[in-house]
Structure formats: C-alpha cells, structure tokens
Amino acid sequence: MFNGQKVLVTGGTGMIGRQLVSLLVNRGARVSVVSLDTPVGLPPGVEFLKADLTYFDKCLEICEGMDYVFNLVGVKGSPKMCREQPADFMVPMLQFNTNMMEAARRQGVKWYLFTSSVGVYHPAEVFKEDDVWTTFPSDNDRFAGWAKRIGELQAQAYSIQYGWNCVSIVRPANVYGPYDNFDPENAMVVPSLIRKALENDHLDVWGDGSPIRDFIHSKDVALGMIHVVEKGVTEPVNLGSGDGVTIKTIVDFVVEHCGKDIEVRWDTTKPRGDARRVFDMSRANSHGFVPTISIEEGIIDTIKWFKENKAIVDRRHNAFRK
C-alpha cells in the first residue's frame, strides 16, 4: 500500500513518530518528516521539512503532492504545566489539528490519520470509544482533551459537508518507549521510574502500587496507526493493551531489569489516583489489530535505549529547560 507513496509525518521526530517513520520506510514509502527542530538519527532517505504548523500556508505547502498524511504532532507536559499554562496546550493543538486536516483535504491526500488522546475520556474504569460524546474530559485533561475532541469533530464535519471519508482516528493509551520524555520534572510513569532507578540507589513512589493502568509501547502504537489506515477504518479506535497492569508491576520490572540493587520506598501518604483505568480494545481487535510487545519486553527495550542514549536524553532535557 505504501510502496512508492509519498507520506508526510508531522511529529515524526517524537517517540511514536520515529517508530512510524521506520516502519513506513521499511514498507517502501517516500517519507517526509516535519519538525521545528533539526532531528538526529532519521533513517536514510527520509526528507526533513522545517515548518511551523500554526501557519496555514506552511501546512498547505508541506501537504502538496502527498499521498498520505499521519498527523502525530502535539504538545506534552506535566500535570502542573497543564494546570498553570493551559493556553500553551490548547491553542497550538487547535491550530495544528485544524490547519493540517484542512490542508490535507484541500491538497487531495488519499488518507489522513489524526492522533487523538486518552485525554478525551472522562475518568472511568474502562474507556470505550463511544462513551466520549456522553461525557466530558476530566478536569486534569480539560483543555488538551477538548482540543483533541475538536480535531475528531473536524473529521466528522468534513465527512458530512464534503463527503471526505478518508480520516482514521486513533486514541493511544499511556505510551512509552525509546525517545520518550525522560525529563525528571515532566516525565510520565515509565520513563520517570527508569531514570530515577538508574540514577539513584532508591526509588520513591507515590501510593501503594495498586492502581491499574493501560500501557502500550510506541512501536505498537505506530503499527496500530498503519493498520487502521491500511484497513480504511474511519471510526475512532483505542490503541492500548486492553489488560492493564499495576503500578507495582511496572516498578518491579524496572527494578529487576535496571541492573543494580534498588530500594523501593512507597509513600502511602501520597494520592494513588483512580483504582483502574484501562482501554476497551474490542474495536481494535475487531479490525484485526492486537499489540505485540508485552510490558516487560517494552520496559527492557526502553531501559536499554536509555542507557545507550543518555547523551541524547540530557541534550533534550537541557534544551527543554532553556
């Protein structure tokens, strides 16, 4: 399907994007990657395009002549940043989403993938795709969640008004893997635990480890993205494990595979969060997609990458702090 086709990947230098670019190159695609920063380590033959996607004319320019567009670009940050700088999340994402989908439509691309988020969901034990529009995003994800919801509505609006029925929508769960954000102040659960374990002789963890969360490796997310595009799926699709794993299990795997003795110190005076938050994977399974990387395999892979690429991690951290 992608052999010889021109494919544009926004956010192609990120954790999921790098996996996706490699998979597309292996399928014979002629891949172009969009970013504001010059990337390091892209596969041979991949074209780099520097563009600010908040400008619509730039989006039109980079979409011209493309057969497929995978829009992965987004804004990431800590819960603290979400609370104190919500405009820095919501406004750029609205601009990225709106500009890229409109540009792709005008330029007549064959298929477009929109990357939504777990943030569109209201807190629940199990996240089902069709529940989104009967609820509101949680307060913690209010601004970013609504920005992603608007992107999904944009695709629906285009289908109604223009008959443009060539948009796939994926909602990834808690993604981790190589090129994750390992910043000590802004990292999510898996990269945070890995960095702290490798750089200290103890590991302080909030709660008692009992909450269950849904994690998926970045390569499985990329494979899921390709799968829904190849199958022409136009309904939103969850990309997660569907099983969930306790935080304690994550901690145990990190400690076991970090290669040194670590003392784990649970702080049960701190909040532990919701007891269970897992994706319903029935829809993805019905379309033939099943994740392939277990959480233990994924953590081993991520630890190995972190050890081998500490210089890249530190360089990204220093750039973020400037």
pLDDT at 10: 97
pLDDT at 42: 87
pLDDT at 321: 47
Query: Rounded to a whole number, what is the distance in angstroms from the first to the last CA of the chain?
Result: 42
- CA nearest to 148, candidates 98, 217, 215, 213: 98
Q: Is residue 259 part of a domain?
A: yes
Confidence of residue 80 (pLDDT cuts 50, 70, 90): low
pTM above 0.85, yes or no: yes
pLDDT exceeding 70 applies to what percent of the chain?
95
Q: pLDDT tens digit string along 214-232?
A: 999 999 999 999 999 999 9
- 192's enclosing H/E stretch is helix 189-199
pLDDT at 318: 55
- Which of 6-10, 180-184, 286-290, 317-321 shows the lowest mean pLDDT across its residues? 317-321
Q: Is the pLDDT of residue 319 over 60?
A: no
Confidence of residue 20 (pLDDT cuts 50, 70, 90): very high
Rounded average pLDDT over 29-47: 89
Q: What's the angle, vertex CA 52, arms to CA 116 and CA 30, rounded to 5?
A: 75
Coil vs helix vs strand at 229: helix
pLDDT at 77: 61
Query: Whole-number mean pLDDT of the chain?
Result: 92
Compute the Cα dihedral for 120, 213, 176, 321 and give only its sign: positive
User: Which domain CATH number covers 307?
Assistant: 3.40.50.720
Name, of 78-82, 271-275, 281-285, 309-313, the range with top average pLDDT: 281-285
Q: Is residue 136 part of a domain?
A: yes
Number of domains within the chain: 1
Q: Is the pLDDT of residue 287 over 50?
A: yes
pLDDT at 320: 46
Q: Which domain holds residue 156?
A: 6-321
- CA nearest to 79, candidates 203, 185, 172, 183: 185
Give the CA-trace dihedral at 213, 219, 308, 304, to 10 degrees. 50
Confidence of residue 127 (pLDDT cuts 50, 70, 90): very high
305 backbone dihedrals φ, ψ, rounded to 5°: -65, -45
Q: Is residue 146 part of a domain?
A: yes
Confidence of residue 175 (pLDDT cuts 50, 70, 90): very high
Rounded average pLDDT over 284-288: 98
Q: Is residue 1 part of a domain?
A: no
Q: Is residue 267 part of a domain?
A: yes
- Distance, C-alpha 19 to centroid of its chain: 11
Confidence of residue 139 (pLDDT cuts 50, 70, 90): confident
72 backbone dihedrals φ, ψ, rounded to 5°: -110, -5
- 198's enclosing H/E stretch is helix 189-199
Rounded average pLDDT over 178-193: 87
Q: pLDDT tens digit string along 58-79?
A: 999 999 999 999 999 987 665 6
